[in-house]
């Protein structure tokens, strides 16, 4: 059985991106399409579709009620109604609220020759045809001044001209957006990228960290946190500069070690900076605490009667008292240490507010990463099944439990204490309006996705925020990467990866495979692929590579095995399909790495140790946070790897001052050798803990 561990990281500065980019099969309610095994009886969809048979039959009724006499127009209207079932309906209906009934119709604006002018075709075919309860009534499209009567009408009664009609319903397809041309959306048949020739890494720091978060002000700096609970602010060297992390180990950004309970699978698991950190100075830590040692460590126990769990029956594995260990999200501020958060070099370890506290049933699998969603600004909180081996209480499938879930919290609108208690919340946050289970009293409203075992490192694609990837650590056989969608069920403990899982015991009840609509992993690996004994495997999720540094891995999703058994590059094919092929890739150390990659004397090989986590900086360059230090992906030619797309003329520059907007911040880091002294002790203790994990 593989155990997993600790901690987090990042992501905030993307709110200015084009967030509607056409990507990923998603329904207009933001959920993943269902897989149906036969063609729907009314709409021409099969395989992945956003309609079940009930919705299909409702669309049929709606169509019959329109009573369209003209065959050509009827056929067009039917296709438009059925666009709701398209697996890309989220993109097709992107421009409007829930009310929108017409997808974006392809019009002649498109420069892409391939797109037909379906909007004109619709107008020309239907303009004189009477349609009852017309879909095209102006009021539905939010126009003022148009006739409110949407009973039986012709397009020509509602719209003055084709131009009038198409300026309201039309739109073009591009790589950023997709429009409806009368037929199910098809993907371009792209030639899949070749697997990369290998990854070239340089070593730029000795510290052992669990989380890296780029500075939200966009500068060339990042926060790094350790499992015991210390956060450092480091300057990042430019690519090709020969520089290393610019960090002062004697001057942490904040030190939370007094509150954090640090042990094998405990510690500071995550940190997140508010998207507006540069203005409001708000930041958040996710960590574990021990209630026998700290009075601030008191939350409701996640093992309770709501979820068929009796805390007095928990095994001794759970600590000396029920829910002795807890998971906490706490908020901090740079106010008080700096008037400008971008210039803050440190912050007080004084909690401004407790966001969340929950007692844990056992001593493992509690994930703990926190991330702000790049398009919604809400805080996503990853939570494992709580441990105990094979999720004995079936928490991950129990929607009254927050274990084995991804949660989504609004930390910008904090309700009153009475409201919090009325709603039975676990702290100071509110529930976003469109959380999937908000209206269902039988379910915990915090939940965004269910059926996770121990989500170990999630990330949002920095180019396509709808791609929310989470690696989920497996039990006995399979390590998986999931594409997380609203309300999705990722299968655990009914499935482990793609296979049915058979728990030995289940005091908390069972969930049948028939009763779940499990979403299967998009990538992963079998334990047998990396370790013949099948034991030492545990996935660490990474990022879509969006840097220009190594063009041969552009757009690929990188992930690794915690035990250093491999690094994989996942290629999506076709583009925007959500289907991936992943291949293990080699990695080596740049000949000119500023720090030696290997600690073994005489060895030139690269020994990464444990790969705890990945990080991404503001230039989209990718880092590996390992027990041996901090590594960064660099140009392939620095490892003598051939990538024909690489710009090999890029000159090696001398170390230059960081491009931080805050000159005082860059001038204060002049310790070019990474970690010394106490940090070495820290490193040793982390490694010891991992050895314990292995046996």
Ligand X SMILES: *[C@@H]1O[C@H](CO)[C@@H](O)[C@H](O)[C@H]1NC(C)=O
In the complex, the residues that contact ligand X under the rule CB under 6 A are: 37-38, 67, 69, 107-109, 112-114, 127-128, 132, 149, 151, 163, 166-167, 170-171, 173-175, 178, 188, 195, 280-281, 333, 335, 352, 463, 581, 583, 591, 639-640, 647, 649-651
* Long-range pairs, 70-79, Cβ under 8 A, ≥24: 70/125, 70/126, 70/129, 72/125, 73/125, 73/126, 73/129, 73/131, 76/121, 76/122, 76/125, 76/126, 76/182, 77/126, 77/131, 77/135, 78/42, 79/180, 79/182, 79/183
Q: Tokens for 453?
A: 């075992």
Helices 53-66 and 71-82 pack at an angle, to 10 degrees, of: 150
Minimum CB separation of residue 4 from ligand X in Å reads 24
The angle subtended at Cα 46 by Cα 43 and Cα 52, nearest 5°, is 65
Query: Residues, the chain, total?
Result: 695
Minimum CB separation of residue 68 from ligand X in Å reads 9
Q: Is-contact 469 481, C-beta < 8 A? A: yes
Identify which of residues 65 and 684 has a Cβ nearer to ligand X in the complex.
65
Given phi > 0 = left and psi -120 to 50 = alpha, else beta, which region is 345?
alpha
Minimum CB separation of residue 132 from ligand X in Å reads 6
- What are the start-end ranges of the H helices in 417-510? 417-423
Q: Tokens for 47?
A: 């395989």
3-state SS class at 157: helix
Minimum CB separation of residue 618 from ligand X in Å reads 18
Partners of residue 567 on adjacent β-strands:
560, 585
Minimum CB separation of residue 347 from ligand X in Å reads 11
Identify which of residues 108 and 659 has a Cβ nearer to ligand X in the complex.
108
Minimum CB separation of residue 290 from ligand X in Å reads 26
DSSP for residue 641: -
Identify which of residues 141 and 363 has a Cβ nearer to ligand X in the complex.
141
Identify which of residues 38 and 413 has a Cβ nearer to ligand X in the complex.
38
Q: Return the closest-CA partner of residue 547 out of 238, 215, 207.
A: 238
DSSP for residue 644: T
Partners of residue 582 on adjacent β-strands:
570
Minimum CB separation of residue 476 from ligand X in Å reads 22
Helix (H) or strand (E) holding 693: helix 678-694
- Count of Cβ atoms closer than 10 Å to residue 317 Cβ: 12
Give the contacts of 567 (CB within 8 A, at least 6 positions apart). Answer: 199, 558, 559, 560, 561, 584, 585, 587, 611
Q: Is-contact 612 212, C-beta < 8 A? A: no
What order do you get walking across the sheet with 282-290 strand by strand?
A: 268-273, 282-290, 325-333, 353-359, 300-301
Chain-centroid distance, C-alpha 465:
8
- Count of Cβ atoms closer than 10 Å to residue 32 Cβ: 24
Identify which of residues 76 and 358 has a Cβ nearer to ligand X in the complex.
76
Q: Is-contact 63 78, C-beta < 8 A? A: yes
Minimum CB separation of residue 481 from ligand X in Å reads 13
Identify which of residues 291 and 464 has a Cβ nearer to ligand X in the complex.
464
Minimum CB separation of residue 648 from ligand X in Å reads 8
Identify which of residues 311 and 551 has a Cβ nearer to ligand X in the complex.
551
Q: Is-contact 671 248, C-beta < 8 A? A: yes
Identify which of residues 315 and 640 has a Cβ nearer to ligand X in the complex.
640
Q: Is-contact 471 457, C-beta < 8 A? A: yes
Locate tokens 């220009």: which residue? 548
Minimum CB separation of residue 384 from ligand X in Å reads 27
What beta strand segments (E) does 245-336 contain? 254-255, 268-273, 282-290, 300-301, 325-333
Minimum CB separation of residue 659 from ligand X in Å reads 15
Minimum CB separation of residue 569 from ligand X in Å reads 9
Identify which of residues 647 and 656 has a Cβ nearer to ligand X in the complex.
647
Minimum CB separation of residue 220 from ligand X in Å reads 17
Minimum CB separation of residue 5 from ligand X in Å reads 28
Identify which of residues 173 and 363 has a Cβ nearer to ligand X in the complex.
173
Identify which of residues 173 and 435 has a Cβ nearer to ligand X in the complex.
173
Q: Is-contact 224 264, C-beta < 8 A? A: no
Q: Return the closest-CA partner of residue 571 out of 548, 552, 550, 547.
A: 552
What is the spatial distance between Cα 361 and Cα 388, in angstroms, rounded to a whole number?
Answer: 8
Q: Alpha-carbon dihedral of residues 442, 447, 450, 454, nearest 10 degrees?
A: -130
DSSP for residue 481: E
Main-chain phi, psi angles of 270, to 5 degrees:
-155, 160
Instruction: Give 105-142 as a DSSP string.
Output: EE-TT---TTS--HHHHHHHHHTTS-EET-TT-GGGGT
Identify which of residues 197 and 205 has a Cβ nearer to ligand X in the complex.
197
Minimum CB separation of residue 283 from ligand X in Å reads 11
Minimum CB separation of residue 67 from ligand X in Å reads 4
Identify which of residues 463 and 536 has a Cβ nearer to ligand X in the complex.
463
Identify which of residues 315 and 603 has a Cβ nearer to ligand X in the complex.
603
Identify which of residues 290 and 480 has a Cβ nearer to ligand X in the complex.
480
Identify which of residues 448 and 468 has a Cβ nearer to ligand X in the complex.
468
Minimum CB separation of residue 309 from ligand X in Å reads 35
Identify which of residues 124 and 531 has a Cβ nearer to ligand X in the complex.
124
């Amino acid at each position: 059985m593989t155990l997993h561990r600790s901690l987090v990281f990042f992501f905030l500065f993307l709110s200015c991106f084009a967030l509607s980019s056409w990507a990923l099969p998603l329904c207009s309610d933001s959920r993943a399409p269902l897989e149906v095994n036969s063609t729907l009886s009314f709409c021409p969809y099969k395989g992945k579709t956003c309609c079940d048979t009930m919705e299909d039959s409702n669309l049929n009724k709606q169509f019959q009620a329109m009573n369209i006499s003209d065959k050509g127009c009827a056929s067009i209207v039917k296709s438009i109604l059925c666009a709701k079932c398209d697996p890309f309906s989220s993109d097709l209906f992107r421009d409007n609220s829930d009310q929108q009934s017409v997808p974006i119709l392809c019009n002649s604006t498109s420069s892409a020759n391939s797109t037909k002018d379906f909007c004109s075709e619709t107008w020309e075919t239907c303009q004189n045809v009477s349609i009852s309860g017309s879909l095209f009534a102006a009021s539905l499209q939010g126009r003022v001044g148009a006739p409110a009567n949407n009973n039986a009408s012709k397009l020509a009664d509602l719209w003055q001209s084709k131009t009038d009609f198409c300026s309201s319903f039309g739109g073009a397809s591009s790589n950023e957006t997709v429009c409806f041309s009368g037929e199910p959306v098809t993907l371009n048949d792209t030639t899949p990228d070749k697997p990369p020739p290998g990854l070239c890494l340089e070593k730029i720091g000795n510290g052992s960290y669990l989380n890296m978060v780029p500075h939200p002000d966009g500068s060339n700096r990042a926060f790094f946190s350790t499992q015991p609970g210390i956060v450092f602010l480091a300057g990042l060297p430019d690519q090709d500069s020969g520089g290393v992390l610019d960090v002062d180990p004697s001057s942490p950004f904040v030190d939370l070690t007094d509150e954090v309970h640090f042990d094998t699978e405990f510690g500071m698991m995550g940190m997140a900076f508010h998207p507006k950190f540069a203005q409001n100075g708000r930041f958040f830590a996710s960590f574990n605490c021990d209630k026998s040692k700290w009075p601030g460590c008191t939350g409701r126990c996640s093992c309770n009667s709501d979820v068929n769990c009796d805390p007095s029956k928990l095994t001794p594995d759970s600590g000396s008292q029920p829910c002795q260990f807890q998971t906490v999200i706490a908020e901090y501020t740079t106010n008080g240490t700096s008037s400008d958060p971008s210039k803050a070099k440190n912050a007080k370890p004084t909690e401004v507010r407790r966001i969340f506290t929950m007692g844990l049933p056992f001593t493992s699998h509690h994930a703990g990463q926190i991330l702000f969603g790049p398009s919604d600004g809400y805080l996503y909180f990853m939570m494992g099944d709580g441990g105990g081996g094979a999720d004995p209480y079936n928490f991950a499938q129990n929607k009254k439990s927050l274990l084995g879930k991804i949660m989504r919290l609004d930390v910008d609108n904090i309700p009153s204490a009475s409201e919090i208690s009325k709603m039975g919340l676990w702290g100071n946050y509110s529930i976003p309006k469109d959380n999937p289970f908000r209206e269902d009293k039988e379910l915990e409203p915090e939940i965004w996705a269910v059926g996770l075992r121990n989500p170990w490192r999630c990330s949002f694609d920095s180019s396509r925020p709808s791609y929310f990837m989470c690696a989920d650590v497996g039990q006995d056989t399979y390590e998986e990467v999931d594409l997380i969608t609203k309300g999705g069920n990722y299968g655990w403990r009914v499935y482990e990866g793609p296979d049915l899982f058979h728990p030995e015991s289940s005091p908390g009840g069972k969930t049948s495979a028939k009763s779940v609509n499990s979403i299967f992993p998009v990538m992963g690996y079998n334990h047998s692929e990396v370790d013949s004994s099948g034991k030492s495997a545990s996935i660490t999720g990474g990022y879509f590579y969006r840097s220009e540094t190594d063009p041969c891995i552009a757009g690929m999703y990188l992930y690794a095995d915690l035990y250093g058994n491999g690094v994989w590059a996942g290629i999506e094919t076709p583009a925007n399909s959500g289907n991936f092929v992943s291949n293990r890739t080699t990695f080596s150390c740049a000949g000119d790495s500023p720090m030696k990659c290997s600690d073994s004397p005489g060895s030139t090989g690269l020994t990464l140790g444990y790969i705890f986590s990945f990080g991404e900086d503001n230039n989209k360059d990718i880092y590996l946070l390992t027990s041996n230090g901090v590594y960064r992906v660099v140009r392939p030619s620095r490892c003598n790897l051939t990538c024909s797309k690489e710009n090999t003329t890029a000159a090696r520059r001398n170390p230059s001052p960081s491009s931080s907007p805050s000159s005082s911040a860059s001038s204060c880091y002049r310790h070019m050798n990474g970690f010394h002294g106490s940090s070495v002790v820290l490193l040793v203790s982390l490694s010891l803990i991992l050895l314990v994990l292995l046996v």
